[in-house]
Every structure is written in C-alpha cells, then in structure tokens.
C-alpha cells in the first residue's frame, strides 16, 4: 500500500477515526466522528494467544473490515510506546519490544496512525483538562496516566511501583489476583491503593476505568469517578485534536 497522507487526514474537518484498544484479554474497535461520537457498534475479538505482533495485526485488520469506512486510526496499547515504537508489553508477549506498531498498522490499513499507552488514551476520553487528573485502569494489568491541566505526563508506569508487602500495584490488583482472592478483598486493596495514590500525587480527580472497574463496590471519595471501558476507545479522537504537544484543552466530547 502507498504511504498514508497524515496531513490530509489531520486537516479533514469531518474525518472518521477508527479507534483501536489493544487489551490483554480483548481487542476492541469503533469508528468515531470528528467530535469523538461513536458512529458504529463496538467490535471486539479475544486477544490471540500467543499475543505476538503478527497475530494482533491480523486481529486489527479483521476488526477494521467490520467497521466500514474510516480516514485515520488511533491505537491504545497496553505498554510503553515511544514515537510509535513499543517498548514494553507485559500482558502481551516479549516479542513486542522494539516493534514499530504505527508503521506496521499504516502498512496493513493504508491509513495514517497514531498510538499511545492505553491508559493515556482512556484518560483523554475522561479528563476535564483542569488541574491534576490521574487515571488508572484495572484489567489484565494495572494501567496509569497523569494529566496536568490537560497535558499528558508521558510514560508513567505506576503498575510496577511498590505498593504493599513489597509487591507492586499490578501484583496486588491485577486480574490474576482478583480471581485468587475474590472481589471483597480486592476492593479493600483498591481502597488502600486510592489512599496511597492520593497521598503521592495530590490529584484533583482520579478516574478508574478498565474491564474490572465494573467490579468496584467500595464507596468512592467525591473526587474519584468510575469511567466506562468505552472511554478507552473514545479517547482516540484526542490524537487528532491536539497540537504537536500531547495535551488537550478540554474534555473530549462523547455524549
């Protein structure tokens, strides 16, 4: 395929964005209009095992076929990604290290592509763009994103930071642990994590998303909000609304 023309897609005021969310258990896709509103039904395919790049690319291509026409692509990736190249993917496969995701998806789909950490993308779909806002995602692993006045602090990885009993946030709150200890104990650990994160970041707002957010039963503080897992797709429009710097001026419209 020919190289896609990023400038054309960026300037198109009515461009349709294919938003892809790569997760440890499922890969999702939806097409958004220029305001970030869904115009197709969300598609989902179970993440292939082993989750090597080739298998994931084939899944993305299959999802794209079912979503109809689109002009550009946004991808949320479960790991650190720099300039389109993946650095870590703890819940996928070791072969992702150093993989040029953006270039490869452009070649497969023939459209311009932008990509970022999945929690970053989910944050773009949830934040107000004012003050210190922290986003954590509870799924196969533990994702995180920090925003200051709408500007993303890149490559934040709280997941592997010590949390309690010499174990990390991911080791204490990941999906494997949830299944082992049950929802009640898991919620108690989450309550401790919220207190720890507030003391560390002094955030104005905390947003909790991801596939396991629906299993949160504890009473949340006023400045903590549960967000829909769909925000991980809706935030994809922000890639095409921001300047060269990774920031947003206001909350993405997704009503």
pLDDT tier at 232 (50, 70, 90 boundaries)? low
pTM for this model (two decimals): 0.80
Assigned superfamily of 12-122+231-240 = ATPase, nucleotide binding domain (3.30.420.40)
DSSP tag of 219: P
Q: Please determine, for residue 219, whether its predicted confidence score (pLDDT) is greater than 50.
A: yes
CB distance 9 to 71 below 8 Å: yes
**Mean pLDDT rounded to a whole number for the chain:** 87
- What is the structure's pLDDT at 198? 97
The Cα–Cα gap between 236 and 73 comes to 8
Same fold, 12-122+231-240 and 128-226: yes
Q: Please determine, for residue 242, whether its predicted confidence score (pLDDT) is greater than 70.
A: no
- Residues 39-78, buried b or exposed e (16+ Cβ, 10 A)? ebebbeeebeeebebeebbebbeebbeebeebbbbbbbbb
CA 206 to chain centre: 15
Exposed, middle or buried by CB within 10 Å (0-12, 13-18, 19+), for 98? exposed
Q: List, for residues 149-194, the tens digit of each pLDDT value.
A: 999 998 788 998 999 988 999 999 999 999 999 999 999 999 999 9
The Cα–Cα gap between 164 and 79 comes to 22
User: Which is nearest to 194 in space by CA: 210, 185, 178, 205?
Assistant: 205
Q: List, for residues 127-138, the tens digit of each pLDDT value.
A: 999 999 999 999
CA 134 to chain centre: 13
Helix, strand, or coil (residue 82): strand
Extents of the domains making up the chain: 12-122+231-240, 128-226
pLDDT tier at 35 (50, 70, 90 boundaries)? confident
Residue partners of 253: CB distance under 8 A and separation at least 6:
35, 36, 37
> Is the CATH number 3.30.420.40 carried by domain 128-226?
yes
The Cα–Cα gap between 242 and 203 comes to 23
Q: Please determine, for residue 201, whether its predicted confidence score (pLDDT) is greater than 70.
A: yes
Q: Please determine, for residue 234, whether its predicted confidence score (pLDDT) is greater than 90.
A: no
- What is the structure's pLDDT at 254? 34
Q: List, for residues 56-110, the tens digit of each pLDDT value.
A: 999 999 999 999 999 999 999 998 898 899 998 988 999 999 999 999 999 999 9
């Amino acid at each position: 395929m020919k190289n896609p023309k990023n400038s054309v897609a960026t300037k198109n005021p009515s461009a349709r964005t294919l938003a892809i969310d790569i997760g440890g258990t499922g890969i999702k896709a939806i097409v958004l209009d220029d305001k970030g509103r869904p115009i197709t039904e969300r598609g989902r395919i179970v993440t292939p095992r082993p989750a090597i790049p080739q298998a994931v690319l084939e899944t993305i291509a299959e999802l794209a076929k079912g979503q109809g026409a689109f002009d550009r692509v946004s991808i949320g990736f479960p790991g650190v990604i720099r300039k389109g190249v993946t650095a870590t993917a703890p819940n996928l496969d070791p072969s992702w290290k150093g993989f040029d995701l953006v270039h490869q998806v452009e070649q497969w789909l023939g459209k311009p592509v932008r990509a970022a950490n999945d929690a970053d993308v989910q944050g773009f779909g949830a934040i107000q763009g004012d003050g210190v806002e922290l986003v954590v995602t509870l799924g196969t692993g533990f994702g995180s994103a920090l925003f200051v006045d709408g500007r993303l602090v890149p490559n934040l990885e709280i997941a592997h930071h010590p949390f309690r009993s010499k174990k990390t946030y991911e080791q204490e709150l990941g999906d494997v642990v949830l299944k082992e200890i049950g929802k009640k104990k898991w919620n108690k650990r989450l309550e401790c994590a919220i207190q720890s994160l507030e003391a560390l970041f002094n955030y104005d707002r905390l947003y909790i998303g991801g596939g396991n957010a629906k299993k949160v039963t504890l009473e949340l503080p006023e400045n903590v909000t549960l967000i829909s897992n769909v925000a991980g797709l809706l935030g994809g429009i922000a890639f095409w609304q921001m300047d060269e710097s990774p920031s947003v001026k206001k909350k993405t419209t997704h009503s």
